[in-house]
Structure 1
Amino acid sequence: MKKLVFICFLIVQLTPLIHAQQAQKSGITISGTVREAGKKTPIAYATVILRDKADDQMIDGTTTDDDGHFELHSEHGDFYVELSFMGYLTKKITDFEINGSKLNLGDILFEEDSKTLDEVVIQGERSRTEFQLDKRVFNVGQDISSTGASALDILNNIPSVSVNIEGQISLRGSQGVRILINGKPSVLASEQGNIMGTITADMIERIEVITNPSAKFEAEGTSGIINIVLKREGEKNLNGSVTLNTGMPNNHSLGISLNKRTDKLNLFTQVGVGYRTFPRHNETLSKDLSSNTELHTLSDRDFNEEFYNLILGTDYRINNSTVVSLSGQFAYEKETTDSKNDYTLKNPEGTVADAWSRKEDSYADNPKWQGEFQVKKDFDESGDHSLLASATGAFFRKDQVSDFQNRTILGDRPDALQKLNTDYKEGIYTFKLDYTRPFSEYYELETGTQYVINGVSNDYAVFDRQEGEWIPDPNFTNVFVFDQDVLGLYSTVSREKDKWGAKLGLRFEYTALDTRLEDTGEKNRKRYGDFFPTAHTSYKFSDNYSLQAGYSARIFRPGLWELNPFFALQDNFNIYTGNPNLTPEYTDSYEVTSIYHLDKVSFNLGLYQRITTDVIEEVVTVEDNVSIRKPDNVGRSRTTGAEFNSKYTPWDWATIDVDVNYNAFSRKGSYNEQSFGFSGDRWTSRAMAKFKLPVNFDFEAAWNYESAYETLQLDILENYYLDLGLRKKLLKGKAVMNLSVRDVFASRKYRSVSSGQGLEFNRLGMSGRFFTFGISYGIGKGDAMEFSGQKRF
């Protein structure tokens, strides 16, 4: 409550300053539009600098918007304008006539610099990170190891972000990350949507990593937000790329990305089709200490998928101040799964008492739809004063049938047949209204509201074959209905001037949750409202050194998979069940980050701390050799860490990126009246080296290491792996051939062990190495891209 009062007090105190600053605004406003000389195409993100004629010092600076427009300010008229953009000749404008307090330079035409064009292509392919007041922005290039890559693979190359072999996303070593697509929740980024399986490298423009989100964003996600921004804009006329990939295991795909843009209309489409296979090997050992029996399991599983993906969208500029956007996506996946599990049960004397096998044949259809309507109204030429309204609807369905056959090899266990049916449906509807108002050159107000409706129905049924009939098993059969509505209201006030900037915000969210089991009539109803204050600041000591600091309050609401008691049955000895009685996690997150830019090296060093109450963690129990995993609220945790990221370019042909993250954590809590408090530490590191070779070859190597760490009951062992990539440019960069190898030594393994509470448990999981070869060709001014839609499990 003290934090809330403090935030409100500061916002009230800033209000008169905002109006005072507005009254003091004076001087000269310089504006213009940057265009390409040939086709008069607007050039977005060109650099525009206002310099003093006397000493060439920078007075003001900006970049052009999507329409090539810019606006600068100066207190006196003794200046000149310098404009630059990669691949074009730099322009200086020194002769002009000032009319009162305004100077309109009109259209400024850029000509291509043919001498540096090849260098521009090289530079444009590198992914790069830039820092903003409350987030880090990773602009996606064409890193070689991203050949045939999905959004998950791109995320795994971003500092602070890691994706394990199970496809779980972590930020600074913690899960509970909120994934957004274009700033909004999306079925593409949901777990039941196979975690962005059809979002690919060539679709992504940038990824925003927000470890301490401002109040503008939803409070969901304890360790932060990752916002994936998809490409929409392009050069005028027809532009795009065509990509063909093949690989082992099966990874065959064809992707087409096209964009047609005019002065008022922008049309874009992306089409992808393909077939892929994901092998998986698991080994588990569970020992019941009370009976001294052991169950060994060996599992080999091939997941096969056909996928079809279509995106259509348009942006229409009604006038200079209003843009309407409409887009839709349809994705369809046909899945088949073939697996074989071999079981060996040993008695207390250590001899084999029973042995049997279990075969699985599964088939599933996964259709997905999504549509979005958006209107943006600009109240000034810069677009900073604006109103944005949007409505998004997404629907996902999974219709799956699995047949299991148990065959006895040793012992008197009878042969058995089992069937699993899943009919899953989910709809998500999001309505947003965002208003941004600059009160002066340095102060800005953001306010808005959001309403999210999430409805799920999961019809899950397990049948056993008995006397020629399929009999439902009541222990694993039910219909779980999940309905959750979240209403959010927020306001932020920010100030950015010269060296210092700050942003203060407050968000309120009200949650209405209803769940029920239709077969048994069990219901769970929860209503709660929370305030989430945020604060961010930055200070620029020099052009080479800056400091950032931030605080945010976060929440993690248990979702369908955590609450649903009827979720998954891989076999009768490995069961996951949800917990309808879970309560949300609440986190206070603090961080300070320093950013350095030197001649050949840039790096940042950050310190952070997260304090979480009502921590949700899986608890494993073993009963009669049946391993049951169930989430529960287990206490309070504190995580304190340090993060180091660096990019070093010793020579023009070599670049080295290093990312190291260390954190120490402690847990206080209990489960079933027994203490589960513990402490430990964990660190991860990534080193990536890129080399430019003769004859337009590029080579890349990326080494990843994750240390061992401890959870509530498990010891997770260390993990390490190497990815390699080789690229050859053809036709002056319009065509690209790529070869990549992921997990070269097949060393990326998930290994966990545990003991205590009457059980011992060991697990090993691995997928092996992947080879991919791709060739891509750019259409118009489109760049050659990589496309595959590969995903991880």
Structure 2
Amino acid sequence: MIKVKFNFLLLLMLSVIGYAQNKEITIGGTLTDAATKTTVPYATIVVKDNTTDEVLSGTTSNDNGFFNIKTTANNFYVEVSFMGYKTQSFKNIDTSKNVVDLGTIVLEENSQALAAVEVRAEVSKTQFKLDKKVFNVGKDIASTGVSALEVLNNVPSVNVDIEGAVSLRGSSGVQILIDGKPSVLTESGSNALGTITAEMIESIEVITNPSAKYDAEGTAGILNIILKKEEKKGLNGSVSVNTGIPDNHSVGVSMNRRTEKFNLFTQFGGGYKSYPRYNENINENKIEDSRLVSEGTSYRNEVFYNLILGTDYHIDDYNVLTLSGNIAYEIEDQPSETNYSSYLNDVLQSEWIRTEETEATNPKWQYEFNYSKEFKNNKEHILLFSALGRFFGKDLSSEFTNSTLSGTNKEKDQQTETKFQQADYTFKLDYTNPISDEYTIETGGQYVINDVGNDYEVRNYNGSDFVVDNNLTNTFDYNQKVLGLYGTGAYENDTWGVKIGARIENTDLTITNEGAKGVQNYTNLFPSAHTSYKFTDSFSLQAGYSKRIYRPRLWDLNPFISISDNYNIRAGNPDLQPEFTDSYELTSIYKIGKATMSTSVYYRYTTDVMERIAIIEYDPESKNDVTTRTPFNVGSRNTTGVEINGKYTATKWLSFNGDFNWNYFDRRGVYENQNFDFSADNWSTRLNSKISFPLDIDMELTGNYRSSNQTVQGEDSGYAFADLGLRKKMLKGRAVINFAIRDIFESRISESVIDNDRSYQYSFGQRGRFFTLGFSYGFGKGEAMTYSGKRR
């Protein structure tokens, strides 16, 4: 009996000891910066054995500085470390409790470590979040000394064509924001994005399936450009000087001064750029056996200035006011010369040269007020209000002169004058409340006013004077108001998350064209849903759905005719309706050894698709075809695609980045009894390699290919092109010299063909090779296009 009791007591003691050894303890806390009071994400937290200092488990803090780590050990301590900060250790932890809250951990800068250590986050990297991808702009050579358009062209899923048009996964229905808001610098038809240089950009958010929190505009999604706003104490900044061939000269300065209450920031720059473009067109009428051939080079010479000035005022630890302004000014000069040859029955009838002299001034400005309130119970419990006003003007005049070389030229000398003004106002309120560690709700609203006016006048020379052509002259006014309200709810833990929401928008549009008024008023519901699941540290899945709208822009609606080429005309359509798209996406993210990769499968269904239709008419006076390209709503489009992005680090001196995008689309539509039903596919790919040499010299080589694309009436040709970059660091990384060649083989082209029983239309355009040379220097705690120490 005694032996039985002893065995029972022994078994009970072993069970208690085993339970104590296997008990899981959860340790949590939040990391903050001692100087700025901001949270510190991506710091390293490890659990170590008290006796052997062996690492038992580890994790990193999330975007909000919070961490949560578990262990079954009972003799351990916790260590917190991050580059540029002093390491902290927490010992004598009470292991009798299942949950240990270390509270708010304040990290102090380690100035000696900052001076001695360089963070080699040189190639831009992509982070994946619940409803977006974040492309952090690093020290890529090809992005140095270039504009925001070139930076966008290096972002996975994004393409920028020869004309500067931005597309996302092959679709042009993309909305571009700056710091989460519309900007005069992103207006369609404006080259103002060229005034933002790579040195000014912190990151670019790629939101292919935006949640209901975001404006529903943009059927392909949203690109959000986040500008740098340094918050290190003292005076910090950098200066850059760039030059290039063709003319591409600029100077940029970024400065920041941080005190306890104020954060003053400014960025300003100026320069001169020249954009030459070679064009060739063939208009052939097979019935009349006539052909018109034109070729020539046009230039867009531009002097530009850009100034951003603002301040953050920290009223207290929970309330911040921000005032900022942006002024940009461009002076354009656009000379061109085009040679025309007219044939009838393959016999040359006439030759002439048409020259263009265009001058324009483009003033732009923007002002903004923001108020941010952080609630005491949670740093993520935030109320944001913003009011934004912006203006864009263009005062343009052109003169076209024709010189006959042979035969009879019936073209008239002409003059045009354009006065354009656009004023936009945006009022936005956002409220975010994390009601628990897992649940978050968001709600808010936005009211946008767009008020645009465009006066366009054409004058023809009658032999003695220029006389107004009433058939081509018009006054066009565009006033649009959009009211949006939204709500979302999200649940997210360490492995799984889901976010659903809905947005309702009312659009009130009034168009006045030469006194004739048209009104459109419609209300739409835009639901969204996103989810993610983390299977392991190396593999996770994301899925999303959203409904989007693409409203026609001013230049899509304005029926004015461009007379730069009287035989190849682009005009708008005031009856154009918006596109609507239902977008679905499934993305996997995984790591395999030294490689990281993401694969997305997506599907988009778009109704009332806007297509530019070429209307070809025979002009009996000139005996040539005249092609007018005008947008119309033509049927629907189903698109199914696959996108793959990846990175492979072969060695310390060699790495590769690449992406591949393929999509198949089914087009259905009829316009004026012409059937546009067809199916086709297209694809694009990009591969970037980086090689590091001794003496702090790096080289990057990027290859791109874009396949041909079938359109409703013809085909756009494919093309391949390559870029090369070299960099040399000096003065311990404070100074950097960069050299780049864009489009090494001059193979990046724009080429389209329309070929039917009646006519043959050919269009070709090419920008050519560009060379750039840049120098950048960082002062204070600023860097020369590099990130060092802590995350900003």
Equivalent position of 2:588 in the other structure: 594
1:166 to partner: Cα distance: 1.1
Superposed counterparts of 1:608-757, under 5 Å? 608-624=602-618, 625-756=625-756
Q: Which amino acid aligns with 1:416?
A: K
CA distance in 1, matches of 2:71, 2:313: 37
Equivalent position of 2:238 in the other structure: 241
CA distance in 2, matches of 1:28, 1:703: 47
What whole-Å deviation, never above 9, does each CA across 1:664-709 have from its counterpart, x for those lacking one?
1110111101211111000100000001101100000000000111
1:82 to partner: Cα distance: 3.5
Superposed counterparts of 1:279-678, under 5 Å? 279-347=276-344, 349-380=345-376, 382-414=378-410, 416-518=412-514, 521-624=515-618, 625-678=625-678
Contact 2:195 2:270 survives alignment (8 Å): no
SS in 2 for 1:416: coil
1:761 to partner: Cα distance: 0.6
Contact 2:28 2:66 survives alignment (8 Å): no
Q: Which amino acid aligns with 2:776?
A: S
Equivalent position of 1:775 in the other structure: 775
What whole-Å deviation, never above 9, does each CA across 1:603-630 have from its counterpart, x for those lacking one?
0111001011111110002212111000
SS in 2 for 1:570: coil
Q: Which amino acid aligns with 1:480?
A: F
What whole-Å deviation, never above 9, does each CA across 1:166-217 have from its counterpart, x for those lacking one?
1111111111111111111111111143251211111111100011000000
1:466 to partner: Cα distance: 1.6
Q: Structure 1 46/335 Cα, relative in aligned 2: closer, same or farther at 3 Å?
A: same
1:59 to partner: Cα distance: 8.3
CA distance in 1, matches of 2:138, 2:563: 41
Contact 2:40 2:61 survives alignment (8 Å): no
Kindly tell me the number of residue pairs found equivalent between the two proteins: 750
Contact 2:295 2:338 survives alignment (8 Å): yes
1:103 to partner: Cα distance: 4.1
SS in 1 for 2:747: coil
Pair 1:199 & 2:199 matched: no
Q: Which amino acid aligns with 1:371?
A: Y
CA distance in 2, matches of 1:415, 1:492: 60
Q: Structure 1 658/116 Cα, relative in aligned 2: closer, same or farther at 3 Å?
A: farther
Contact 2:358 2:399 survives alignment (8 Å): yes
Contact 1:246 1:252 survives alignment (8 Å): yes
CA distance in 2, matches of 1:141, 1:115: 19
Of 286-295 and 72-81, more deviation after overlay is shown by: 72-81
1:92 to partner: Cα distance: 3.4
Contact 2:29 2:105 survives alignment (8 Å): no
Q: Structure 1 265/75 Cα, relative in aligned 2: closer, same or farther at 3 Å?
A: farther
Contact 2:86 2:108 survives alignment (8 Å): no
1:45 to partner: Cα distance: 3.3
Q: Structure 1 61/646 Cα, relative in aligned 2: closer, same or farther at 3 Å?
A: closer
CA distance in 2, matches of 1:481, 1:459: 9
Q: Which amino acid aligns with 1:698?
A: D
Pair 1:145 & 2:142 matched: yes
Superposed counterparts of 1:118-137, under 5 Å? 118-120=117-119, 122-123=120-121, 125-137=122-134
Q: Which amino acid aligns with 2:392?
A: F
CA distance in 2, matches of 1:75, 1:652: 34
CA distance in 1, matches of 2:214, 2:116: 39
Equivalent position of 1:187 in the other structure: 184
CA distance in 1, matches of 2:529, 2:407: 65
Contact 2:86 2:110 survives alignment (8 Å): yes
CA distance in 2, matches of 1:702, 1:235: 34
1:570 to partner: Cα distance: 1.5
Q: Which amino acid aligns with 1:700?
A: E
CA distance in 2, matches of 1:97, 1:107: 21
CA distance in 2, matches of 1:160, 1:675: 31
Q: Structure 1 331/672 Cα, relative in aligned 2: closer, same or farther at 3 Å?
A: same
Q: Which amino acid aligns with 2:555?
A: W
Equivalent position of 2:15 in the other structure: none
CA distance in 1, matches of 2:468, 2:68: 71
SS in 1 for 2:315: strand
Question: How high is the TM-score relative to the length of structure 1?
Answer: 0.91
CA distance in 1, matches of 2:94, 2:364: 57
CA distance in 2, matches of 1:691, 1:573: 49
1:85 to partner: Cα distance: 2.5
CA distance in 2, matches of 1:313, 1:169: 28
SS in 2 for 1:145: helix
What whole-Å deviation, never above 9, does each CA across 1:701-750 have from its counterpart, x for those lacking one?
00000011101112011111000000000000000000000000101011
Equivalent position of 1:169 in the other structure: 166
Q: Which amino acid aligns with 2:412?
A: A
CA distance in 1, matches of 2:365, 2:707: 40
Contact 2:349 2:408 survives alignment (8 Å): no
Pair 1:227 & 2:221 matched: no
CA distance in 1, matches of 2:169, 2:267: 32
Q: Structure 1 43/489 Cα, relative in aligned 2: closer, same or farther at 3 Å?
A: closer
What is the percentage of aligned positions where both structures have the same residue?
47
SS in 2 for 1:153: helix
CA distance in 2, matches of 1:435, 1:105: 24
SS in 2 for 1:336: strand
CA distance in 1, matches of 2:735, 2:39: 24
Superposed counterparts of 1:106-121, under 5 Å? 107-111=106-110, 114=113, 117-120=116-119
Contact 1:408 1:415 survives alignment (8 Å): no
Q: Which amino acid aligns with 1:733?
A: G
CA distance in 2, matches of 1:173, 1:133: 23
Q: Which amino acid aligns with 2:526?
A: F
CA distance in 2, matches of 1:687, 1:116: 35
Q: Which amino acid aligns with 2:253?
A: I
Contact 1:48 1:81 survives alignment (8 Å): no
SS in 2 for 1:571: coil
CA distance in 1, matches of 2:206, 2:393: 29
1:290 to partner: Cα distance: 3.0
Q: Which amino acid aligns with 1:345?
A: S
Q: Structure 1 86/289 Cα, relative in aligned 2: closer, same or farther at 3 Å?
A: farther
CA distance in 2, matches of 1:515, 1:191: 18
Q: What is the alpha-carbon root mean square deviation over aligned residues?
A: 2.4
SS in 1 for 2:195: coil
Q: Structure 1 71/681 Cα, relative in aligned 2: closer, same or farther at 3 Å?
A: closer
CA distance in 2, matches of 1:677, 1:305: 43
Equivalent position of 2:268 in the other structure: 271
**Structure with the greater relative contact order (CA < 8 A, sep ≥ 6): 1 or 2?**
1
Equivalent position of 1:5 in the other structure: none
Equivalent position of 1:13 in the other structure: none
SS in 2 for 1:568: coil
Q: Structure 1 268/247 Cα, relative in aligned 2: closer, same or farther at 3 Å?
A: same
CA distance in 1, matches of 2:411, 2:506: 52
1:472 to partner: Cα distance: 1.3
Question: How high is the TM-score relative to the length of structure 2?
Answer: 0.91
SS in 1 for 2:108: strand
1:147 to partner: Cα distance: 2.2
Q: Structure 1 230/80 Cα, relative in aligned 2: closer, same or farther at 3 Å?
A: farther
Contact 2:31 2:40 survives alignment (8 Å): no
SS in 1 for 2:133: strand
Q: Structure 1 96/777 Cα, relative in aligned 2: closer, same or farther at 3 Å?
A: farther
1:140 to partner: Cα distance: 0.5
